[in-house]
Chain A
Amino acid sequence: MVKTIEEKIFLIKSCPDTESHIKVNQDICTICTGKECTKFCPANVFAWSPVNNKLIVGYENCLECGLCTVGCPYGSIRYEQPKGGFGRI
């Protein structure tokens, strides 16, 4: 039976835009110690890249639940509604 987030996201219908509807403030993310978003997002949208010293935002997988706007302790995430017909459809 399917268990991981990646397997589950694969099952979902969505139509990603070419532009991200989630923007983060990289200056804040760089100094954020907990990187909570990389753990609580149910779609694993956020990943910290130590090589680039940057938070990678895989917005294409987003489930549009809005949890990240609540869960980021520093208000670094700006979440916008995907354009009509894009995202979860």
Chain B
Amino acid sequence: MKNKHEVIIVGAGPAGLSAAKVLADNGIKTLVLEKTKKGASKNFYSGIISEEHMKGIFTNFFDSSGGKIMAPFERFVDQYRVYILQEDSFTSFNVQNNKQNSYIVLREPFNQWLIKEVQKAGAEVITETAVKNLIINDGKISGVKTDSGEFFANVVIIGEGVNPVLTKSSGLRAGEFKSNQIFSFVEEDISMSAETIEERFNLSPFHGISAKLFTQGIPDMPGIGYIHTNHNSISIGAGMLFSELISRNINPNECLERLKEHSCIKPLIANGTTKNYCSYMLPVLTLKNQNDKFLKLFSNGCLIIGGAALITDMLSWDVSAVAVLSGKAAAQTVIKAKELNDYSSNTLSHYIHLVKAIHELPHDPNPDMLNNFNNAVLQRK
């Protein structure tokens, strides 16, 4: 059969590329299809990557001596900071992170590095190719239809992110979220000199801050936000429960603009130049609390990973960690299926056990204290 691989992965984000790397390392013929030019970087601009799970999969994360990081990053996360904003005051606290075990990265260069590593391991990556449909033969998913032809495989792994058009259109997910099941976010990247950032945030060179903002105390802006200090820009995002945003008639951008005007935030971004803007949704409904009828994580010849599988954790600091782990879990499942030469849902169902364990794992670089704080804030909501 033409264009036949063992595994096709839809989407070159952290989940899909992690799956591809593990598969290629195990000698499995893998193809990654990605709609954009450079790999999933359209929805977030920057993020936190913790080395804990990354370095096991992407073994070139550090150089061979194990000391120097090889992946492109902006700054070490030196401090985790929590801001609690009130209308005209704020409180904040820091948790110092001396371990240098997590990094602020810009998605685009980081993702391109991941793609190169996946290619070096032997997987094929085709960009600018959107998957339109799944190909189903005798009740088994056996490939994908793209706008530049058909591709076939034993297993299709869907890692298309939090706006999963294919997952929905192919009936693997039953319908749409309700507006009270997601947060809408917008993010802006504001450039300024590295020195200005270090002065304003009281940082040494190459050290950075990952901050979470809680704004429930402000009557017109109940929600959350975040700030990452990149090398010479600041990424700032604001999110709100989508149903609240709709009922208050506000736009996600207004939410962000209000945050930017707050007396706590304004001086941090003053005189910066906005150079990017993006938007995304994050489900509050996650694998942990979803009803099994809403989403099928596996079927005959198919597995779903990352955001498309509702494997997200909005309040964690490294939001991609759970996606990475789900990609790895899918790869392990496929490796086992290959041994048994059986790609039916029966064998692939093994994935569920691996995935359910992800949420139990400590997947976040943040200290317990912040987890407890997160839980307290969530319960209050």
A interface with B by C-beta (< 8 Å) = 1-5, 7-9, 11-12, 36, 39-44, 63-67, 69-71, 75, 79-85, 87-89
Minimum-distance CB pairs A-B, first 7: A66-B163, A85-B128, A8-B277, A88-B42, A65-B279, A2-B274, A42-B279
A40 and B277 form a contact (CB under 8 A): no
B163 and A3 form a contact (CB under 8 A): no
Contact of B177 among A4, A11, A70, A84 (CB under 8 A): A70
How far does the alpha carbon of A83 sit from the alpha carbon of B163 in the complex, in Å? 15
Contacts known (A5-B253, A65-B43); A84 close to B147, Cβ less than 8 A: yes
Which residues of chain A have C-beta atoms less than 8 A from B279's C-beta?
42-43, 63, 65, 67
How far does the alpha carbon of A36 sit from the alpha carbon of B273 in the complex, in Å? 31
Residue of B whose beta carbon sits closest to that of A39 = B249
Tally chain B residues at the interface, Cβ within 8 Å. Answer: 49
B252 and A79 form a contact (CB under 8 A): no
B352 within 8 A of A: no
Main secondary structure of the interface of B (DSSP, over half): mixed
Residue of A whose beta carbon sits closest to that of B33 = A84
A40 and B35 form a contact (CB under 8 A): no
1/0 per residue, CB under 8 A from A, across B334-376: the answer is 0000000000000000000000000000000000000000000
How far does the alpha carbon of A16 sit from the alpha carbon of B147 in the complex, in Å? 16
Which residues of chain B have C-beta atoms less than 8 A from A67's C-beta?
182, 184, 242, 252, 279, 281
Which residues of chain B have C-beta atoms less than 8 A from A89's C-beta?
36-38, 42, 128
Contacts known (A40-B246, A70-B177); A64 close to B163, Cβ less than 8 A: yes
A66 and B281 form a contact (CB under 8 A): yes
B193 within 8 A of A: no
Which residues of chain B have C-beta atoms less than 8 A from A69's C-beta?
176
How far does the alpha carbon of A40 sit from the alpha carbon of B247 in the complex, in Å? 10
How far does the alpha carbon of A57 sit from the alpha carbon of B283 in the complex, in Å? 26
Distance in Å: Cβ of B167 to nearest Cβ of chain A: 11
B275 and A70 form a contact (CB under 8 A): no
B278 within 8 A of A: yes
Residue of B whose beta carbon sits closest to that of A85 = B128
B48 within 8 A of A: no
Distance in Å: Cβ of B241 to nearest Cβ of chain A: 12
Residue of A whose beta carbon sits closest to that of B177 = A70
**B42, B148, B166, B242: most-surrounded residue (chain A CB, <10 A):** B42
Which residues of chain B have C-beta atoms less than 8 A from A40's C-beta?
184, 242, 245-246, 251-252
Contacts known (A2-B274, A65-B280, A65-B281); A81 close to B165, Cβ less than 8 A: yes
